[in-house]
Structure 1
Amino acid sequence: MTSLWIDRAVPVVDEPLPGEDEHLDALVVGAGLTGLTTALLLARAGQRVACVEARRVGAVTTGRTTGKVSLLQGTHLSRIRRHQSEEVAAAYVDANREGMEWLLRFCDDHGVPYQRRTAVTYAADDGELSSVEQEHRAADSLGLPVVWRDRLDVPFPHVAATTLADQAQLDAMDVLGALAAQLREHGGTLHQGHRVRSVSKGGRPTVRLEDGRELTADRLVLATGTPILDRGLHFARLEPQRSYVLALEGAEPMDGMYLSAGSDARSVRDAPGGALVVGGAGHVVGRTDSHLAHLDALRSWTAEHYPGTSETHHWSAQDYSSPDGVPYVGPVTRGSERIHVATGYEKWGMTNAVVAARTISADILGEAPSWAQVLAGRSTTPSNAGEIARINLGVGAALAAGAARTVRERLPGSSGPAPARSCGVVGICTHLGGLLKWNDAEETWDCPLHGSRFAADGEVLEGPATRPLVRRSEE
């Protein structure tokens, strides 16, 4: 399942790791948009920075995004307003505006192409209409010049929409390539294929890589989707979401980027060269009986409404939602100011990744923007607490379902799940022991508790797990 963007990206070259006794001002873990932007901002300020990546640049979320750069983010603003104050919602918009402006200015300065488009949040049917109306009112009250439209020039069903002109779309891998080049130009280094297994707990942060080597820095930035460090218990306050994307050829250019307001959302945009990019059919990671069924549902919808197109790529992506819709960005815990994390973008990483990089670099260098202070100082409201409870009730239900499945598989005459036997691994997550679900669309092991994912041979694909699955020969 290779994304359109990764398939056509120019490979980024590697450099030798810094020596274990070499001084680093900052070490960034993760070479997606958050990690590379943070590393570049610090390197521009004269810091000695290294960025390490477990696989390849953009291998996880950034290389699998739909690439929308927008301040109108589905129904996200009304969601934030339900859980937070007007001040926090306004700060979120200000932060994302700065993130968008920085990113597009960077693209202009370094020859990265992008296309201006109108962002559209639409109601696919009458049941979604009130959600779109709420989003329109929220965006308008927060100063965004949204325009209500009763009809759209699109082939799929809709009843109304709120729209925001002059937003943008791009190929995120183009951005990452330019960021990597600029990082090197400013003295930073980039190292791919080095997975972090653990992080020290005292003094200057030290990471241990899977080959046993260690790197130490004055500051550590974990830009890894969900933090690969249990301090702060971020995994217990995040809900990991998996969604699916198709790229198709034979489409006509369009002037909008579309996203429906329902829980089973549909995202539609074009791409240069006559491509159509359709996303959606999401679910909580590991909590579905068939991943292929979700992918097939997206294919059926696309075939119905864009019958003249043919599929060239399909892939899936993972994102994390926070209880109030605002990302967690800052020190991993109070008293751990040397270790920084960024997570919970909820599918809006093209702006929020830059916001996180700006926030973390300002924490390290000084002079944090006013919006960062408001977002960092937000309180846990009763509705937030309710969302945290809901997330953890879901984890508890997944634990119970896993225990019941284990009992069934151990009944006389049963020898366990066929994929586990054929792959030769123990289907137990190495993070907190969740019983893994086989992902029939991607042939991976997915954890229904906190979203860790493993290749068929047991190697880690996404955290919070950092250790591979136990092989049956090691039991």
Structure 2
Amino acid sequence: MTTLPVGYESYWMLSAARSPYPALLPGESIEADVAVVGGGVAGLSVAWELARAGCSVAVLEADRIAAGVTGHTSGKLSALHGLDYSRIAASRGPESAQLYAASQQGAVEHLAAIAAELGIECELERVPAYTYVESEYHVDEVRAEADAARAAGLPASFTTDVGLPFPVRGAVRVEDQAQFHPRKYLLALAEDLVARGGLIRERTRVLDLDDSGGAVLLTAECGAEVRAADVVVATHYPVFDGGFLSSRLTPRRELVLSALLPAEEDPQGTYTTPERGTRTVQTAPYPFTPGKRLLVVTGERFLPGIRGIGTVSARYERLAAWTYERFPSARLAHRWATQDIETTEGLPYIGRFHPASSHSYLATGFGGWGMSGGVLAGQLLAAHVLGGELPDWAGLYDPGPRAGDAPAMLRRKSAVARSYVGDRLRPSYVDSVAEIAPGTGAIVRIGGRRCAVHRTAEGELRALSPRCTHLGCLVRFNDAESAWECPCHGSRFGTGGEVLQGPATRPLERRDLGEEPEGE
């Protein structure tokens, strides 16, 4: 068994602390031209673009800005996204692949330009990006991707010469990509946003949105209200979905490890492979130890709450073993996890929240490529709100129904239905509370109804309703991160019931193990 880091802390979070922004006060009422719900890369990017254009902007973040998915990402910034160009050209045509390349590479250059303009020290390094394979079986796919990416307008080539310390059979190489410290970049962007008159309110969870009138009304958990002419929902999974997008979005969780690596062994690029359930590799400066770089490895994608192949802890072990096998000099330093949203068609949704909306917009479904996707979402949504000319590639990301969505939507609905109905047919996950070991959790029937029960390391029991407060699916326990996760739409809750990640906005109801509740 590989020795893993004890805690679960993102390096980006640990290495970029800052003073918090205030929360909205109970009963407070504010007005702005635009309200942005969500303080990650997409939310802060669109807020900054709008503030630079002269709009008054209010950013409302349920936790801390740049601390959710963005604070737990890998930090790669690239227009090369696995084998996407072959897929897009085949499903939507070469022109769509060209638009995708133009928008994604444009986002890379736009972020670099903003960092230079504002003097942001975010450890931005321009490096090549690679999609590689170790198996001869997949070489033809990589060759086809190199051709498709080059035809789409990227400086792409096929190569077998890469900087990795292990042999590969083939790789796509795209020049002029980047890796950076996402949190340092976004915290500096937020400071400039405030300097331009923008408002940021943290620990402000928005529960309701009403865009039926001329203005948009947002109601926060504390009872405060925000009125705006327009609203952008950039909460990763849209928290005001109401079922409109749920059949077209799938959450995916992914594990991340970082390790200290001798600087002379830096592979000098960002690397992705579709093999072994996906692995990505890149590095970052590590100023705390001379002669070292920080190696960042991600992989082991899985649906939150899914039982699948072993526990989440076992998945960390597999990722660590892979890292040590290929980088023998590496020494693990941190581990954390991130969550992405994939759409049925594999393209983000950026535009009007739903066909009838005229003042609400959303950005979601970046599928693991949220750094470039979030930046281009800022550009596109700012153009929508300002009423300016939209870029040529705007239609590629329109959230409206798309041709070919139906089969994938049916598969997604079927998977959700299996989780929703199947879990209720099962009598219990364990037979009694006594079976729950310290540090673990399980679903157990108590007094005639199911409870989600967690036993702390000290032996204390915490019981909650197992029904996700989003749409009612039953949650499951993540043993590695001590969290309850919904397998239907990806909501995550702490062992005390608090919301860790949406689309849920309300906590799990607490239950008293001493009660004899009615049947559920």
Indicate the TM-score class for this superposition, using the shorter chain for normalisation: over 0.9
State the SS of the aligned residue for 1:212. Answer: coil
Q: Which amino acid aligns with 1:228?
A: V
Q: Does 1:89 align with 2:104?
A: no
> CA shift at 1:80, angstroms?
2.4
The answer to whether the 8 Å contact 2:250/2:412 transfers is yes
Amino acid at match of 2:393: W
Q: Which has the larger radius of gyration?
A: 2
Q: 1:209 to 1:377 in 2, by over 3 A?
A: closer
Q: Is 1:372 matched up with 2:403?
A: no
Residue 57 to residue 148, structure 1, CA distance change in 2 (3 Å): same
For the residues of structure 1 that align with 2:197 and 2:244, how far apart are their CA atoms? 34
Q: Which secondary structure does the structure 1 equivalent of 2:426 belong to? A: helix
Q: TM-score, normalised by structure 1?
A: 0.94
Q: Indicate if the aligned counterparts of 2:251 and 2:303 stay in contact, CA closer than 8 A.
A: yes
Structure 1 CA distance for aligned equivalents of residues 229 and 485 of structure 2:
34
In the alignment, is the contact (CA less than 8 A) between 2:207 and 2:505 conserved in 1?
yes
> How far apart are residue 389 of structure 1 and its match?
2.2
Question: Hey, what does 1:443 align to over in structure 2?
Answer: 482
CA contact (8 A) 1:420 1:426 kept: no
> 1:211–1:406: structure 2 CA closer, same or farther, 3 Å change rule?
farther
Aligned residues of 2:24 and 2:224 also touching (Cα < 8 A): no
Task: Answer whether contact 1:241 1:283 (CA < 8 A) is retained.
Answer: yes
- Counterpart position of 1:43: 51
Does residue 325 (structure 1) correspond to residue 335 (structure 2)? The answer is no
Change (3 A) 1:57 1:418: closer
SS at match of 2:340: strand
> Which residue does 1:111 correspond to in 2?
120
Kept in 1, the 8 Å contact 2:465–2:510? The answer is yes
Aligned to 2:499: 460
For 2:132, what is the secondary structure of its paired residue?
strand
Q: Tell me, yes or no, if structure 1 residue 2 matches structure 2 residue 9.
A: yes
Counterparts of residues 23-42 of structure 1 (less than 5 Å): 23-42=31-50
8 A contact 2:142–2:158 mirrored in 1: no
Q: Distance in 1 between matches of 2:35 and 2:400?
A: 28
Secondary structure of the structure 1 residue equivalent to 2:275: coil
SS at match of 2:31: coil
- Among 508, 512, 516, the residue aligned to 1:469: 508
For 1:206 and 1:365, how far apart are their aligned partners in 2? 19
Secondary structure of the equivalent of 1:99? helix
Query: What's the CA shift for 1:38?
Result: 0.8
TM-score by length of 2: 0.86
Distance 1:329 1:12, change over 3 A: farther
Amino acid corresponding to residue 489 of structure 2 in structure 1: H
Corresponding position: 1:424 with 2:463: yes
In structure 2, relative to structure 1, the CA distance for the partners of 1:443 and 1:127 (3 Å cut) is: farther
Partner of 1:283: 302
Q: In structure 2, the residue corresponding to 1:445 is in which secondary structure? A: strand
Deviations 1:298-320 (A, max 9, x none): 01101112222211110000001
Any conservation in 2 of the 1:68–1:257 contact (CA below 8 Å)?
yes
- Please tell me whether the aligned partners of residues 349 and 399 of structure 2 are also in contact (alpha carbons under 8 angstroms): no
Counterpart Cα distance in 2 of 1:297 and 1:314: 13
Equivalent position amino acid for 1:108 in 2: A
Deviations 1:101-128 (A, max 9, x none): 1101111122333111110100121233
Equivalent positions of 1:40-79 (< 5 A) are 40-79=48-87
2:350, 2:399 within 8 Å by CA — same for their partners in 1?
A: no
Query: What residue number does 1:123 align with?
Result: 133
Q: Any residues of structure 2 matched to 1:266-415 within 5 Å, and which?
A: 266-273=279-286, 274-288=293-307, 289-367=310-388, 368-376=390-398, 380-382=402-404, 384-407=405-428, 409=430, 415=444
Asked if 1:218 corresponds to 2:237, the answer is: no
Give the partner amino acid of 1:301: W
Q: Distance in 2 between matches of 1:149 and 1:237?
A: 36
Mapped contact 1:260–1:267 kept (Cα < 8 A):
yes
Pairing partner for 1:155 from 143, 154, 165: 165
SS of equivalent to 1:25 = strand
Q: Which AA in structure 2 matches 1:243?
A: E
Equivalenced residue count is 474
One-letter identity of the residue aligned with 1:63: G
Letter in 1 for 2:403: T
Displacement of 1:254: 2.4
DSSP 3-state at the match of 1:449: coil
1:408-434 per-position Cα deviation (integer Å, ceiling 9, x unaligned): 657999944774472221121011111
Any unmatched runs of 5+ in structure 1? none
